[in-house]
Structure 1
Amino acid sequence: MYRVLIADDEYWVGRWLADVLAKSPYDIKLAGISKNGGEALEKLKSDQIDILITDINMPVASGLALLKELEESGRKKPKTIIISGYDEFEYARQAIELDVLAYLLKPLEREKVYEAVEKAIGLLEEEQRQRESETSDFAGTVEVVLAEYLKNPESDLKEKLAELFVRRKENPGFYRLGLLQTGQLEQSALSREPLRRKMEEACPGKRIFLHQRDRFTWAILITGIEHPEGFAVNETALASILHRYEFGLSRAHDDFSRLDCAVEEAKQALIGNLEEEGEEKLRSLEHIPSESELHAEFLSAIQTRSLPLLEECSRLSAELFVRRDYDLTGCLNFYFVLTGDVIKLLNDCYGKENDTEYLSLMEEGYELSVRIKNHYSIRSICKRFEDYTRKVISCLKEDEYLAVSDIVRKVLLLIREKYAQDLSLGQIADEYGVNPSYFSKKFKDETGCNFIDYLTAVRMEQARALLENTALPVAAVSSRVGFREAKYFSRVFSSVMGMKPTEYRERMRRDGTGREVEM
């Protein structure tokens, strides 16, 4: 939307123009009507005006004097339309010299005004396209040089990067380099422009340059930082990204010759963030098995097809290497050897069964051992191996399968223990290797109700207890019993209990059956 200022000392001319513009088909907004040149000049200096429609003769300052003042002060002039009651050559000549795009004679005609405004908008749009093109070309060039430098840090590309900013006459100020890495060892799901928009939202007013360093990692160059001590990335704006990605940011530098230091600082910051997270989770941990013990437990979990044991081994191995001064190298070596043993196990099975699925998993194991070498996150490495091993376990044959009734009993216990987590019948059926439709029927046969109804009943039971005995807000109760949205929780609670959560809490309080405690 373009902002238009009208300047005319004749009241009715200004009102007529305002009415004409309000009824126009253009995306414009009236910024005001000034009754003399002085008022117009103040408005032009204090506000963003895109189009100026001004009388040539006004008190205090003429329309041409306004433009001369702006030109001499170095300010950008708006697209200007001159209106006048005099058809004089000298006025027209001066207007041309001041880049006035239209000279309209009074009495004004609606169509002539529209033609002039349309011409102004066309020029503004063309300038905007030109700026976007130049900005895009500059950003693309910087990102290409950044990519080349990260591939070859020993080159002189740091100097080339500095030259680009000098040539564009753009002051990069202080800069910081960030590394954003996926929490899984899968290819990054982020694409360039959505990530750029997120980073611009998190660092308002700063220039963002991006390079996908490998399949898992984005390098982010943030420039235009004026005061490093007051700069911080708004992590709230990145919330949708950071639950799946790790992020590390370098210190502020004002010299591109220090770019290698910034890269190393970003890497260490990323590792440091992970280490702090690990230390918090370690406080309640009493004993971690040795590497050899964990290695044996992992193989036992695979051979016995025990998913709970697999999950426990994965958790403990992460804690082991995080506690050991964030021993990334030790973690990589441990999983490299372990992956080799899993491949041997699959090779033995392939020799007996001649099953191409085993062959496919062996190839994936080889790829895994290569792909994890340049990853910075211990927890991500552990999780990726766990995901891979789950596939191995589901592929391995076993002599005796759990009876469905035994599975149902295990699932009932699982629901009681993990009702606050995302649980689905399909996920559980896959975990135990049974058909979801068949398992759903057997679950109802064993319990008398559907899986989702049983899960909901358990959650409502826990919700009632929290509403009766705590002062937690309804939103907090909703989250604690496994609902992502408080509104949906309230609807489910109302359908089950016949009243809203707040009404239930109030009734329990009135009946004297509820006692609230802080949690």
Structure 2
Amino acid sequence: MKALIVDDEARVRKAVRLLVDWDAHQIDEILEAGNGNEAIEIIRQAKPALVIMDMMMESGNGIELMTWVNEFAGNTKFIVVSGHNDFEFVRQTVRHGGIDYILKPIEAEAINVAVAKAVAAWRSEEDDRSERQKQSIQLNEFKPIYGEKLLSALIDDPINSDLSLRRLCSDGIIPENIHSARLILVQTDAGNNPLIKRFGGDTELMNYAIVNICNEFLHSPLKGVAFRYWGGPPEIAIILWDIQTSVVELIGRINHGIYSTLQVRMHFGISSIGNLPKQLPYQRAEVAEALQRRNLLIHEDYCHFSSSSEEFRDRKEIAKAEVRGNVSTTNFADVKEDWKMAVISGSPEILSTAAQHWVDELSRGGVVTPEILNSWKNDALLFRSQLVREMLGPEAEGALAELEQADQLHPAPYTNGYSFSLFAWRDWSYTLMQELAEVIALKQAKERNPMHDIVKYIELNYASDLSLQEVAGKFFVSREYISRRFKQEYGINFSDFIVNIRIDKAKLLLQNPRLKLAQISEMVGFHDVKYFSKVFKKQVGSSPKDYRDTFKS
């Protein structure tokens, strides 16, 4: 696995190299770039799995690089390391799919946790891609009649699209001399559990059934072809070459057929008419945008045209376009303070009021789209992360891990679902704030435990000759209390705890080649360098000198 470090300061790139435990993350090749433009060229050629980048650079800034990675190298994960504690930078990082936003000076633990998350996400997606590829092969073996692999290639392999079209024509799937077509995407609802249960939880079987229903209305006479598109996330696509037919009436008949069979109606994204096959990649982007920008408050409209199509202004589309233009400009920042005060209060009534205010602001403009919902959901999760870090400091990472685990039990409503409900989003926001309030209150209660103050005192004074009697007297507790609590909470005694802290600090200082062993020994509280070396080797498994040698390039 490859990683790329992007920063215009060589010392920062070197620091990242030293602080990340590359072997532990199974990263065997580390590349460097001095600016965003140089990074883009390296990403194109080397295709690293991970990019660790600065936000502010003289040539090619971080936001430009993130935008490019998100658009052209979507498999690559990135972590931002910045000296700027700027909310907009953090927000841009989240919106472009960044794994974490770490402030300088860089802490070894923080960056290694972020790298671990990035590597895990990359490997998970890699496994998903491999699994989808296997499914694609199997599906094409069982359903060769639809030529789904070739049909998908028309969209995602423009270099060979003419060849694919010729093969589809020779197989009789697409008629000869077809030059123009529309692309239509059928939006299936991954959150529709009752429908999926009807197929025994098998979404592939469900999609196969939907494709068959669509083709019943397309094949007599031959107007187009519906197929399972395998070039990305699960989608059902229709290539409609009968451009004279009324696409709205056709989709109405298809939707009636789907409803008669499955008791649901589905949403269709419809492109403008374009050249077949050259325009298909652009048409796919059009219809994906149309579905992302459909107004979830209008339940009875199932046809969603791209803004470049003529039909966008037909069928009272002008009025709808005007409504779309009135989308509320309310930002999450407008409710952020309400949420913060509600979480700090922990009061169910105040939490409920804040949640209701959020959905009121969300729907105030008369338009709620999947795009808007995703943006607000990301802002809400970003708020949670920032508040936890603000309130809990060093305890933040553990609290965030607990909250992310709770997200699996109480996930956000599906943003592209058919049964959109403001009440469901209100309940989700209430639950999110309630769980956040509980975690913060619990962690703060632990902070009031005298052991936390004792540990902090030891961490600040580890270089001194600390004694159990001295610490007990300072905090007005007995020696026996401290000894018992150290055993209960850390599994070791008081003196071993101090030794562990001293050795951990020594390991950091050993990375500085200008410090002598005797100096480091004194700095961490060992007055005899030989005794320091003996204890270090016992704890770490290697001598201080051997440990230091591992950092030499």
Q: TM-score range by the shorter chain?
A: 0.3 to 0.5
If you compute each CA radius of gyration, which structure gives the higher value, 1 or 2?
Answer: 1
TM-score (norm 1): 0.37
